[in-house]
Amino acid sequence: MQFGSVPTVDVDALTSEDFLLDVREDDEWEAGHAEGALHIPMSEFVARYGELTEAAPADGKVHVLCRVGGRSAQVAQYLIQQGVDAVNVAGGMQAWEAAGRPVSDGKGGSGTIV
């Protein structure tokens, strides 16, 4: 699947082994996120790019999430331009939650998507 020229994957295709990058802002992340995802807000992404290169698997795909898929598509496109194997997660965290995937508040409770 493609979002414009950016490769896209549906939430249903993701496994627990997939590397997730959440590019939503801090307040969105704190309200609810996918457990184990790396959080780097889009507004800070270029400055914090090194955090991704340290955390991402060298031979794996980076699955980029935001709320609905717009910001993550932009970040995925940037990553592809940097030579990273990246895909946009269609529907973002709204699709994640709608698919019944767990959403964490990072404090041991259930989160919400804002």
Burial class (CB in 10 A: 0-12, 13-18, 19+), 12: exposed
Catalytic pick among 14, 21, 52, 66: 66
| Residues, the chain | 114
CA atoms within 13 A on the CB side of 35: 13
Q: Is 21 helix (H, G, I), strand (E, B) or coil?
A: strand
DSSP summary character for residue 19: E
Two structure tokens written together for 102 = 């767990």
66 is catalytic: yes
Catalytic annotation, residues: 66
